[in-house]
Amino acid sequence: MSNPGILIRGARIAAELTERGQDPAAAGPVDLRIADGRIVERKAHAEGGLQANDGERVIEADGLIAMTGLVDLHTHLREPGFEQSETVLTGTRAAAAGGFTTVFAMANTMPVQDTAGVVEQVQALGDAAGYATVRPIGAVTEDLSGERLSEIGAMAQSRAAVRVFSDDGKCVHDPLLMRRALEYVKTFDGVIAQHAQDPRLTEGSQMNEGALSSELGLKGWPAVAEESIIARDVLLAEHIGARLHICHLSTAGSVEVVRWAKARGVQVTAEVTPHHLILTEELARSYDARYKVNPPLRRDEDVRALRAAVAEGIIDIIATDHAPHPSEAKECEWDAAAFGMVGLESALPIALLALVNEGHTSWAELERLLSHVPAEIGRLEGHPASLDAGQVADLVLVDPAGTSVFDLGRLHGRSGNSPFLGMELPGRVALTLRHGYPTFEGDSPVDAETVARAAAAQRVPTPTAAGQGGAR
């Protein structure tokens, strides 16, 4: 069936907004023609723009900013095993609502994503649903036990062509296993994404360690539990010459360690979550477990250091750590509640609030933080390098003057454990296109059947087994 095509008229291109604090109108309006999954033509209004073809759908994007589709390197999709929290379909639907076109799915499912079979299954579920490209992350150790390496090579060579390995939720604590894992992934340009949490220093920990944890009577989680693991692992990565990625950095001290490592030339990248860029430990005073997360919310000076580190380029990407949990796991005593927050739908508004609107980053830098650099770290094939003709049409239109308010009826995943419920946040996703077809439009995701049909009919192959020479 031939694709009727879409003409986006008058969008501003994020990549052209390179100055911090710049008015989006500084980028001239551009028309983009999309057909067969790609951008086929692009013309600025200053050069006359594009005329609509017969049957082409026209989307007026006056006042909207176009970015390449967002890429989340850290999503918990929960399937298989925890479908009461999220499924691949519901999680990627939330991703589409947040402007994401690709998510990397964390390995802490049940069964764990530690074999070729499980990662291929997760990827296939993503392909069938069609809301976003799903790139499975493989577990570093069997069953996340921290005891034996998983089948890293088999997952790398599987149809899912896994490039990112993580025991996230748990730290790879044994230094010898960490060393072996780094040596292994180096052979195929993979990366280990470390959840930096010394298990002994955080036994029973509930919130950031400090005066407030004593006051509230909650067991503290010291910053050094994170910083000491990062310090060890950047040294290991340097020794091996392998790539290391640090998940959800949360302290000012972690920023210092990563700055030091980068100055030495260590191949280390770091992510920060939207929530750690804006929320502090003070919220624990409420004893509302929506604010319970791993790593814990830290102090105001940590938040400031994290924002500055993003501006400075020490922190490379924003990743959501979307961690859905059912209400039973959150509406209970703090000590008994699960760690984690959903984040796919609020990521862009929080990044606007904490970074762009504060002048810490430009729109072009935001696009790098949320799209290009996570794609690079994850060695994502086929991700658009720009919104130029010839690129895959994975893109999002954002209304910078609009606002987003999340409540339980306006979150599109299966769980509602957001710390931002009821808040009015800046920016609104107006349209998400994956491989040229809409996955989110106006104020709701496109229905599952339409998206699955579009995915099945698409012309752009999903980036599987890329760089594998055909893999099997």
Ligand X SMILES: NC(=O)N[C@@H](CC(=O)O)C(=O)O
Secondary structure E strands in 341-459: 395-405, 424-434, 437-441, 444-445
The annotation status of 275 as a binding-site residue, yes or no, is no
Q: At closest approach, how far in Å is the CB of 196 from Zn ion?
A: 8
Both tokens of 271, joined, read: 């992510």
Distance CA 460, CA 40 (A): 13
Residue with tokens 């790139």, as numbered in its chain: 135
Which of 70, 137, 293, 396 is the binder for ligand X (CB under 6 A)?
293
Residue closer to ligand X, measured from CB, 83 or 183: 83
Do 6 and 433 meet the contact criterion of CB atoms below 8 Å apart? yes
Which of Zn ion, ligand X, none lies near 339, with the C-beta cut-off 5 to 8 A by kind?
A: ligand X
Which of 69, 253, 340, 343 is the binder for ligand X (CB under 6 A)?
340
Which of 168, 209, 345, 394 is the binder for Zn ion (CB under 5 A)?
168
The annotation status of 245 as a binding-site residue, yes or no, is no
Both tokens of 203, joined, read: 């036994």
SS3 269: strand
Distance CA 381, CA 410 (A): 32
Residue with tokens 């799209």, as numbered in its chain: 371
Handedness of CA 224, 226, 230, 232 (dihedral sign): positive
Query: CB-based contacts of 397: which residues, under 8 Å, 6+ apart?
Result: 8, 11, 59, 61, 64, 65, 66, 429, 430, 431, 432
Site string for ligand X, 69-88 (x = CB under 6 A): -------x------------
276 sits near Zn ion (criterion: CB under 5 A): no
Alpha-carbon Rg of the chain, whole angstroms? 21
Site string for Zn ion, 231-250 (x = CB under 5 A): ----------------x---
Site for Zn ion in 40-99 (CB under 5 A): none
Residue closer to ligand X, measured from CB, 65 or 338: 338
Site for ligand X in 131-170 (CB under 6 A): 168-169
Site string for ligand X, 185-204 (x = CB under 6 A): ----------x---------
Which of Zn ion, ligand X, none lies near 293, with the C-beta cut-off 5 to 8 A by kind?
A: ligand X
Q: At closest approach, how far in Å is the CB of 166 from Zn ion?
A: 8
Is 388 a residue of the active site? Answer: no
Fill in the DSSP letter of residue 349.
H
Residues of this chain that bind ligand X (CB under 6 A): 76, 108, 168-169, 195, 293-294, 321, 323, 339-340
Provide the annotated active-site residues: 321
Residues forming contacts to Zn ion in the complex (CB under 5 A) are 168, 195, 247, 321
